[in-house]
């Protein structure tokens, strides 16, 4: 099982837990807060992961994808880790 398939399974599992949690606790008094807290914790965890996974050669975060729009370079996030570094082209382990 390669890394990208593991990440796809993890994303599907996160979504399934999000739906199950939402349907099971929504009728409770603080149910909507539990769902929002789950989402916020997930986003914070992803931010930490996105900035901590770096290329071993050039030390650039591999989940941040550089884009150019009207001459300005900005970064978007990728859910899946690419096969190779977008900055130096080094294959990622």
pLDDT tens for residues 14-57?
A: 889 888 887 887 777 777 888 888 889 988 988 888 788 888 88
Please give the C-alpha separations between residue 53 and each of 1, 48, 56, 59, 81, in angstroms, as whole numbers. 20, 9, 9, 9, 9
Which pair of tokens denotes residue 1?
Answer: 């099982």
For residue 86, being part of any structural domain is answered with: no
Q: What is the pLDDT of residue 72?
A: 92
> pTM above the 0.75 mark?
no
Cα torsion 23, 20, 79, 58: sign: positive
* 85 is a domain residue: no
CA separation for the pair 25, 5 (Å, rounded) = 30
Q: Is residue 93 in some structural domain?
A: no
**Within a domain: 13:** yes
Task: Give residue 27's domain range.
Answer: 3-77
Residue 83: inside a domain, yes or no? no
pLDDT given at position 19:
84
pLDDT in the model for residue 13: 92
Q: Is residue 90 domain-resident?
A: no
* pLDDT recorded at residue 84: 84
> Based on the structure, what is the number of domains in the chain?
1
């Amino acid at each position: 099982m390669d890394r990208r398939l593991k990440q796809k399974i993890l994303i599907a599992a996160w979504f399934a837990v999000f739906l199950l949690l939402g349907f099971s606790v929504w009728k409770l008094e603080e149910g909507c807060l539990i769902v929002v807290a789950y989402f916020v914790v997930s986003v914070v965890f992803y931010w930490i992961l996105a900035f901590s996974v770096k290329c071993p050669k050039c030390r650039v975060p591999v989940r941040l994808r550089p884009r150019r729009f009207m001459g300005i370079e900005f970064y978007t996030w990728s859910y899946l880790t690419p096969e190779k570094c977008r900055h130096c082209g080094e294959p990622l382990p």
